[in-house]
Amino acid sequence: MYFTVLNSLVSAGLCTKLATIPPHFVSELPYIYVITPTYARSVQKAELTRIANTFSHIKNLHWIVVEDSDERTNLTTHFLFHCGINYTHLHIRSIEHKRRGVEQRNIGLAWLRHNREPNVSRGVVYFADDDNTYSIEIFEEMRYTKKVSIWPVGLTFEARYETPIIGPDNKVKSWHAWHSTERKFATDMAGFAINLNLLLNNPHVWFDNTTRDGFLESSLLSQLVELNDLEPKADNCTKVLVWHTKTITPVFSEDKTWNLEI
Amino acid sequence: MYFTVLNSLVSAGLCTKLATIPPHFVSELPYIYVITPTYARSVQKAELTRIANTFSHIKNLHWIVVEDSDERTNLTTHFLFHCGINYTHLHIRSIEHKRRGVEQRNIGLAWLRHNREPNVSRGVVYFADDDNTYSIEIFEEMRYTKKVSIWPVGLTFEARYETPIIGPDNKVKSWHAWHSTERKFATDMAGFAINLNLLLNNPHVWFDNTTRDGFLESSLLSQLVELNDLEPKADNCTKVLVWHTKTITPVFSEDKTWNLEI
């Protein structure tokens, strides 16, 4: 029922889209579809600005920005219109405030399934939160993903990085990561990309908002691939090219009377 | 004495430089010299990565990166070598740990005075810390600064932004900012840029590490210009194009045994 609603939300046009074709377009290159959940907060425009400065280096990137909101906000609408990146702007309110991102990523998937054609469209799907840090290299690493590519993520929960452990056959054997024995795919959301057609040809696959916290990624990937299918990137997982950075939420003083809209 | 030492450090070659000419070079455009103090910490490579992703959009940008260190570190050396930006890599240990950045910015100034020729070189000098967020627009706003250009900064101390207040004659009259009545120039370090020749022709002007905390910017600018000289940018200071973001320092768990060097 939930997933039917997601698809019908997109097909009914309740989630509108805007798109432009920026200069970074090369017809023979597969697309990189970046799905970014976002929500209104004091540091939002700064965070969107700096990831847009990264994404705007990448050829054939299509940015699917999904607001946690009942409608498209002016800030994000205005920002995207001027960002110079090919984009689609969606919105959906989270069912549970404490688990931001699940509905937003799912409606991004629904948009792709409604707007891209299986076995014709070429590309890769990457879930990139707006507070993380991305090197430019990681996008070229992921562009030709056959099924699911995988790499280390820096500054993850309690560790300087988390990473797949690669065996002598260049296959993923296990993980250096939080709850690595319980999670079949012990990766952070920023640590993998999925071939577009694998998602289009498996239309029943969604993020499951009933999983335990931290098991979202493993639950999704378990529906699509086996450990043996993973394609290690970033020099066989020996480099950190993505970081799970977090920005301090500033506390504003109420007696600052110059808090006007500028 | 202190300032003589700074100059002699540069002239003795103790602060080495490396430079490359990247593709973003247009001979008729003035240079933007960005001076960035940096220091070793867990989020350093992530922060350098995302500001480099911004700076690499800018034509004729020369990045002067100054480490708070007794020697150039491997991390920063390797990072700069591969960042694709024209750069100079310096280092100087802070005199006082609690006031990071003062000696680093001063040795950046000393390098410019030793390597650029007054009334011949053309450009602007901007002090950009490695944790802030910069829109691309702000660099074109500052490029043709005659003396000192000025603009709002978002997410500053206790306020959503701080800004110069502009009078009907388009001149700066006062400030919406912390300690605005006590500071002649109540701007954040990220809120102004200085014409290169103004600094080269005033070789006695340095950041003063004996000023009160928060008065560093005002003290420097007071030696160079009057309020009336300031050139308001960012649509007459009605837009925020720079944000004083701060990144959370992660706390790593000691029992994570995969903390190897990758």
Distance, CA of A99 to CA of A95 (rounded, Å): 8
Q: Is A217 a catalytic residue?
A: yes
Residue B157 pLDDT > 80, yes or no?
A: no
Given a contact cutoff of 8 angstroms between Cβ atoms, the answer to whether B112 and B33 are in contact is: yes
Distance, CA of B23 to CA of B60 (rounded, Å): 9
Closest by Cβ to B53, choosing from A54, A176, A240: A54
Provide the pLDDT for residue B4: 66
Distance, CA of A243 to CA of A255 (rounded, Å): 36
| High-pLDDT (> 70) share of chain A, % | 87
Angle (CA) A147-A148-A152 rounded to 5° is: 160
Closest by Cβ to B252, choosing from A158, A240, A245: A158
Provide the pLDDT for residue B5: 63
What SS3 class is residue A18?
Answer: coil
A83 Rama class: left (phi>0) / alpha (psi -120 to 50) / beta: alpha
Q: Does B53 sit within 8 Å of A136, measured CB to CB?
A: yes
Residue in B with minimal Cα distance to A165: B258
Of the candidates B118, B99, B128, B107, the residue with the CA atom closest to the CA atom of residue B193 = B128
Residue B91 pLDDT > 70, yes or no?
A: yes
Closest by Cβ to B159, choosing from A135, A162, A252: A252
Residue A188 pLDDT > 90, yes or no?
A: yes
Looking at residues A148-166, what average pLDDT do you find? 93
**H-run or E-run covering A165:** strand A161-166
Angle (CA) A246-A48-B139 rounded to 5° is: 110
Q: What's A70's DSSP letter?
A: S
Residue A126 pLDDT > 60, yes or no?
A: yes
Strands A61-67 and A86-91: parallel
Sheet containing strand B86-91, strands side by side:
B86-91, B61-67, B31-38, B123-127, B192-195, B148-150, B230-232
Q: Please state, in angstroms and as integers, the Cα–Cα distance from residue B169 to each residue in A18, A54, B126, following that order.
A: 40, 38, 26
Question: Domain B2-243 in CATH: superfamily?
Answer: Spore Coat Polysaccharide Biosynthesis Protein SpsA; Chain A (3.90.550.10)
Provide the pLDDT for residue A12: 47
Where do runs of H (alpha helix) occur along chain A?
Answer: 2-11, 44-55, 74-82, 102-115, 137-142, 196-200, 216-222, 234-237
B-chain CB neighbours of A247 within 8 Å are: 245-248
**H-run or E-run covering A161:** strand A161-166
Q: Does B256 sit within 8 Å of A155, measured CB to CB?
A: no
Q: Is A167 exposed, middle or buried (0-12, 13-18, 19+ CB in 10 A)?
A: exposed
Given a contact cutoff of 8 angstroms between Cβ atoms, the answer to whether B218 and B185 are in contact is: yes
Where do runs of H (alpha helix) occur along chain B?
Answer: 2-11, 44-55, 74-81, 102-115, 137-142, 196-200, 216-222, 234-237
Residue A241 pLDDT > 70, yes or no?
A: yes
DSSP letter string, B122-188:
-EEEEE--TTSEE-SHHHHHHTT-SSEEE--EES-TTSSEEEEEE-TTSSEEEEESTTTTT-SS---
Q: Does B159 sit within 8 Å of A256, measured CB to CB?
A: yes
Give me the residue spans of the domains in chain B. 2-243
CB atoms within 10 A of CB B228: 9
Residue with tokens 């071939």: A195
Provide the pLDDT for residue B239: 95
Reported as a pLDDT band with limits 50, 70 and 90, residue B161 is very high
Q: Phi and psi (nearest 5°) for A93?
A: -80, 135
Provide the pLDDT for residue A8: 62
Catalytic site residue from A47, A141, A162, A217: A217
- The string of pLDDT tens digits covering residues B13-65 is 456 555 556 667 888 999 999 999 999 999 999 999 999 999 999 999 999 99
